[in-house]
Amino acid sequence: MAPASFHHEKVCVMDASGRLGSTLVERLLERGYIVHAAVQGHVDDLKLNGVATEREKKLKIFHADPFDYQSITDALKGCSGLFYAFEPPQDHPAYDEYMVEVEVRAAHNVVEACARTETIDKVVFTSSATAVLWRDNNSQSLASDLDERHWSDVNFCRKFKLWHALSKTVAEKTAWALAMDRDINMVSINGGLLMEPHLSITHPYLKGAAEMYECGTFVTVDLQFLVDAHICVFEDVSSYGRYLCFNHAITNHEDAIHLACLLTPYSPSPPPSYEEANMIIQQRLSNKKLNKVMVDFE
C-alpha cells in the first residue's frame, strides 16, 4: 500500500496512452491516488487493463496536446504531481532531426505549465539512458563508469545521427534549465531500453546498439520496474536529480544473442567465435543511486 499521506492525492499522467503511461495510471489508482490521465490522441487510446469500477471513479481522462498550452493546464488543474513521458505524435512516429525540435518544445510547454500551476509539488520527467551514455570513445571519461552526472554529447549525437539520444538529451536539458529557473521540484528517470512485446530492431533507442554493447552501456528495463521507479521517486521526499533506471545489462554473448533473436526473430545468427562466446563485457553504467531509494519501496 501507498503511505497514508498519498491517499486521495491528485496526480496527472501525460501521455497516459503509451505503455508506460497507461501502466502508471493503473498502478497509481491501485495505490489510492486520484488520477488525471492526459492523452494526446483519442480518449479511447487509453488502454487500461481491467481497472475496477470502484477505481474508475478516481480516474478522469483529459485530451492534452503538449503543443496546446491550455489543454496542459486543464489536465494539471488541482494536481500535486505530474508524471510526464513524451510520446511521438501519431502523424510523425519516427525519430529524426525534426523530432528533436518537437520533443524539446513539448518538454518546455509542460514544465512551464507546471510552473504556473500552484498546486504542483513535484514533477517526474521520463528521459532515457541515451541522454547519458553517448560520447566520443577517445575522451577521457571512458576510463570511468557512467552515472547520472554524465550527459550524452550533443555534437557526437548529431554527427552520428543518433536522433533518439539527441532528442532525449536536449529535451531533458531544456526541462532541467526551466525547472531550476522556475524553482520546480523535478526528478528525472533515465530508463534503459523498455522491454515490451512488440519491440523491434527499428526502435530508435537501438541505433548504435553494437557500440553500446561493446562499451558496456547496453541496458534494458522491464515495464513493472520502470513504473515502480517512477512512483518510488515521486513518493520519496528525499529524491533529487536524475536516476538511471534499468534492471538488466547486456554484457555477454548469450544475452546479446537472446536480445537479437527477440528483435529479429527470422534471421539466423552466425555461430560465435570462441573468444566472442566467452567474452564478458564490463558493465559501465551504474544504477546505484536508484537502487538505494528503491530498497524500501513496496
Query: Are 226 and 114 a contacting pair, CB within 8 Å?
Result: no
| Residue 74 to residues 86, 110, 116, 122, 186, Cα–Cα distance (Å) | 18, 12, 12, 17, 20
d(CA 34, CA 205): 32
| Residue 2 to residues 67, 228, 234, Cα–Cα distance (Å) | 33, 12, 11
Say whether 289 is catalytic.
no
Q: Which of 57, 60, 161, 168 is catalytic?
A: 168
d(CA 105, CA 100): 9
Query: Are 172 and 150 a contacting pair, CB within 8 Å?
Result: no
β-strand pairing of 193-195 with 186-191: unpaired
d(CA 106, CA 236): 26
Cell of 67: 503543443
* Catalytic positions: 168
